[in-house]
Structure 1
């Protein structure tokens, strides 16, 4: 239930929550490759994905975008930076936080790369559980 609340709060912060291809990235909640794989799925469904982050998570978003670009999955379409006002939970006064939004689109060979990766997974021996 806690994850749902956090998800709703991040959508409220985002403002335009109607975007179905937006990923709000946090650098504490999930591992890096969770977001990389999620971004690939979003691009497969919507042809593009918007990665969004605040404050310290900005470095994580840039890393995710670079992994997708360097591996031939995505091209950069747009980068937007801004500053938003938030309430500081510890002091109760408003603070400003940096925000980044990176819009990535599928490359021409995205579908081929995804098919090759899926085929590789099928051929790989099953991992043993420890």
Structure 2
């Protein structure tokens, strides 16, 4: 019985350690602006967002971060790089992959920019209906 309790406690720790404001970016699954818009929604909800990627997806994360910074929505808080051991599917042996984590915070003008973007979208939607 003791082992089961320990397992349940460890399981809840694993859930807690996964951040709610983290976006794991892939360079194959979604278009670039899917991640840009998702990051904006996360910043509305959590005030900051952590973009994370492995290997070839690192370029996508950097591009998403730069779009958000250059358009005035975000400011850079932290950049962390590391390597992680991933099991190679074909051979089953560990392979080291580069990893990047970029934490962005809402800019001072974030709320104003979001409001302006929403107004532009509503105006465009209204024009389409006419």
Query: Under a length normalisation based on structure 1, what TM-score does the superposition of the two structures give?
Result: 0.84
Give the superposition deviation at 1:16. Answer: 3.4
Give the superposition deviation at 1:91. Answer: 1.4
Tell me, in whole angstroms, the C-alpha distance in 1 between the residues paired with 2:54 and 2:128. Answer: 38
Say which SS state the counterpart of residue 126 (structure 1) adopts: helix
Q: Show structure 2 runs of 5+ residues with no match.
A: 1-13
For 1:1-130, what aligned pairs fall within 5 Å after superposition? 16-17=17-18, 19-124=19-124, 125-126=127-128
Query: Under a length normalisation based on structure 2, what TM-score does the superposition of the two structures give?
Result: 0.84
RMSD: 1.6
Q: How many residues align?
A: 113
Tell me, in whole angstroms, the C-alpha distance in 1 between the residues paired with 2:128 and 2:92. Answer: 51
Q: Show structure 1 runs of 5+ residues with no match.
A: 1-11
Alignment deviations for residues 100-126 of structure 1 (CA, whole Å, 9 cap, x no partner) = 000000000100000000000000033
Tell me, in whole angstroms, the C-alpha distance in 1 between the residues paired with 2:57 and 2:24. Answer: 10
Alignment deviations for residues 11-39 of structure 1 (CA, whole Å, 9 cap, x no partner) = x8xx931x110000000000000000000
